[in-house]
A and B are shown apart, each in its own frame.
Chain A
Amino acid sequence: MNRIVSVIIVLTLTVAAGAASCRKSSAATVKVDGSSTVYPITEAVAEEYGKTKPDVQVTVGISGTGGGFKKFCAGETDISDASRPIKPSEVDACTSGGVDYVELPVAYDGIVIVVNPGNDWAQSITVEELKTMWAPESQGVVTQWSDVRPGWPERPLTLFGPGVDSGTYDYFTEAIVKKEHSSRGDFTSSEDDNTLVQGVAGDVNALGFFGFAYYAENKDKLKLLPVDDGKAENGDGPVAAALESIRDGTYQPLSRPLFIYVAVRSLDRPEVAEFARYFLHEGIPLVSEVGYVPLPEAAYPLALARLEGRKTGSMFTGGSQVGVTIDQLLAREAE
């Protein structure tokens, strides 16, 4: 008994002493945190990078885009994954935290509109109709498919979408409702996109939206609706989400860029600069491997130039920009 007590006391003191000494690990580290949408890409890059540089410890967290920026702007991480551009409030937080950053687009993700395979009436949908479905004022008014397009049956309309804290929701509402973070509240939401897949797959009257990768893995359970934005320059008529249409910008307005934000202060550490460079070089084939869409060829050299030139600040000062492709933005800036 005496021994047990003394062992416990000694061990406690050891832990306390260890805590007090607070010695920093000598290994080179790259700390990444942020969006769970971008996570699979960062994981793949970290895995491959780790094979070439086993002595560098890369860690990746999934605090969400917003949660990631909180840590990033407090100077706690080197790189922040983001599924939408940095918001003005986060820009302010970074400024007061003394964190300058380089914004690097790394991939595209498409947001798909899907219905149940048993749905035989809807073959495509327009942006206006999506707005009719999802706008805040539609709550309690638009409750049947026939309320959206005359000719569609008088069946109840059940909606599925990601949680309101996700970057996907933010982008969708900006693109469709034209007001970020604003939609009707009476839809089934889940942080886990697999739950949304199950929901739409199990309800003939359902319509849902989520990331392209979740459709690509469940094509047998879902029916994809091509989206018509009514603009001839993005391809006439409805365009179906696919690798090509997301990449060349014809699947509008629901393809969005994914980013990493790199702290300028961290770029002084060779391992961080090297990891970011590796991301834009060797990361390209990994993007499609994990289910996302690579940027157009021309975009990566421009992004790399941004990194090498340590060009700080965001290309998106007014929140998510819809309908502009990344290579256009980068090229516009390079001029």
Chain B
Amino acid sequence: MSLRTSPIHDLAMRRAELAPERAFQAVGILAIVLPLLLLLWLFGGALVDAWPRLGWDFLTGFPSRKAEIAGILPALAGSAWLMALTALIAIPLGLGAALYLEEYARPSRLTALIELNIGTLAGVPSILYGLLGLEIFVRVVGMGRSVLAGACTLALLLLPMVIITSREALRTVPQSLREASFALGADRWQTLRRIVLPMCLPGVLTGVILSLARAIGETAPLITIGALTYVAFLPDSVHSAFTALPIQIFNWTSRPQAAFHVNAAAGIVVLIALMLLLNGAAIWLRARLQRRVYW
């Protein structure tokens, strides 16, 4: 009985035990709030600078030496073409590679080597992909400085990330479902097509779209393969010359006249809006596709 402490003492003890946790919680909240505030401050700054130029004219205008009438349409169209083509190339290749590695490949030295390489490639600086794309797609394959060559280069840049996220998505499909499918007499292809793919698709798409959102801001590989700066027409085929948003922004920030810096800020706002749109699409797709699957 003498061991029993008073309730008040008990509470004080608990408080003392909780102190480190509270402190950790505070640090955690700070770690979220600080970067968000910084981001908000940067974006707010860009928005304030950009405000006078943001409008329909800016979105539908062509580049000009006069900052007040210069617009971003060719860059916007170029980036849209790039993203669409990059997704078309990266999804089948990345998903295919992920399917092979997860579902077909037996553990061996070779697969271990491939996996190691994919992990390493994900960390290679993007300008190296630009140099690779310049040599292979632009020169050897003979695509020229086209939007197709740009998309192939960006697809190459995204492939490691797409493969890694697709494999993660494939691993979330429970093994028991595959076994159940086999037990019902389905072969491997039927199981993949009817069970595994539909279930992992939301995860795969999220991964792809998030990597696209990263790629839309890439400048170095595009400059290397020869994306242009002044283009007064829109791409009309995959062989068209093109420019892209980050290149146009970069050009405007480096001009001496302050009026161009306003354009650069407006370009940044458009680019961020596009990124948010892509991320939003990823969330929407995931929510929509996930609802269809029951087990």
Contact = CB atoms under 8 A, between A and B. Distances in A.
A60 interface: yes
Interface in A1-23: 1-2, 4-5, 8-9, 11-12, 15, 18-19, 22-23
Interface of B: 63-65, 85, 88-89, 91-92, 141-143, 145, 148, 193-194, 197-198, 201, 223, 226-233, 236-241, 251, 253-258, 261
Interface of A: 1-2, 4-5, 8-9, 11-12, 15, 18-19, 22-25, 29, 31-33, 36, 39-40, 42-44, 46-47, 50, 57-63, 71, 76, 191-194, 211, 213-214, 216-218, 286, 289-291
A214 B88 CA distance: 43
Given A8-B91, A61-B228, A194-B254, A47 B65 contact: yes
A61 B65 contact: no
Contacts of B143: 19, 22
Contact of A15 (B63, B236, B238): B238
B226 A61 contact: yes
Given A5-B193, A39-B230, A46-B230, 14 more contacts: A9-B92, A15-B238, A24-B239, A25-B237, A36-B251, A40-B255, A43-B230, A46-B232, A57-B232, A59-B230, A61-B228, A192-B253, A211-B256, A214-B256
B239 A217 contact: no
A25 B240 contact: yes
Given A43-B63, A289-B65, A19 B253 contact: no
Contacts of A50: 232
3 nearest CB pairs, A to B: A60-B230, A44-B65, A217-B256
A322 B253 CA distance: 31
Contact of A5 (B141, B197, B230): B197
Nearest to A32: B230
A221 to B, nearest CB: 11
Contacts, number: 115
A286 B65 contact: yes
A12 B92 contact: yes
B88 A15 contact: yes
B79 to A, nearest CB: 16
B75 to A, nearest CB: 13
Contact of A12 (B89, B240, B257): B89
B254 A60 contact: no
20 contacts: A11-B88, A15-B148, A19-B141, A33-B226, A33-B228, A39-B229, A40-B255, A43-B63, A46-B232, A47-B63, A47-B65, A47-B232, A58-B232, A59-B241, A61-B227, A61-B228, A61-B230, A216-B256, A218-B256, A289-B65
A22 B254 contact: no
A57 B233 contact: yes
Contacts of A213: 256
Contacts of A59: 228, 230-231, 241
Given A18-B237, A24-B239, A58 B230 contact: yes
A36 B229 CA distance: 10
A194 B88 contact: no
B256 A1 contact: no
B290 to A, nearest CB: 13
Nearest to A51: B232
B256 A42 contact: no
B256 A194 contact: yes
B231 A8 contact: no
Contacts of B233: 57
Contacts of A42: 230
A213 B237 CA distance: 38
B139 to A, nearest CB: 8
Given A9-B92, A42-B230, A22 B142 contact: yes
B197 A1 contact: yes
Contacts of B240: 25
A52 B240 CA distance: 22
Nearest to A192: B254
B267 to A, nearest CB: 15
B64 A47 contact: yes
Contacts of A40: 65, 255
Contacts of A11: 88
